[in-house]
Amino acid sequence: MTDTIFGKIARGETDTKLVYEDDRCVAFHDINPQAPVHLLVIPREPAVDATQADENTLGHIFAVAARLGQKHCPDGFRLVTNIGKEGGQEVFHLHVHVLGGRQMKKLG
């Protein structure tokens, strides 16, 4: 895995304002928001995507994302992770999007 901007953020090497942090993950606002609330939750320990993360890490970042969604979007939110180029992944460091603050379109 090559280093990414998310790796630098996770290590505290940028001036990114965090909305949450613990010893296993950090969360911050997306710089290209797709909804009024658009947070990213990333693990400190790098994994390319959800297929390569261990279950404890994956479970932890989804639990944190759900709590942040509930806090910032009490009327509802969406959690999304993109996997691979065709799945829309742009930064190859596992991350979960927390999207809310508006009515989301139904999928499918």
Is 38 one of the catalytic residues? no
Residue environment code for 72-94, b if the CB has 16+ CB neighbours within 10 A, otherwise e? bbeeebebebbeeeeeebeebbb
Please pick, among 60, 93, 95, 97, the residue that the annotation labels catalytic. Answer: 95
Within a 10 A sphere around the Cβ of 25, how many other Cβ atoms? 22
CA angle 16, 17, 19 (to 5 degrees): 130
Q: Which amino acid is located at 17 in the chain?
A: K
Task: List active site positions.
Answer: 95
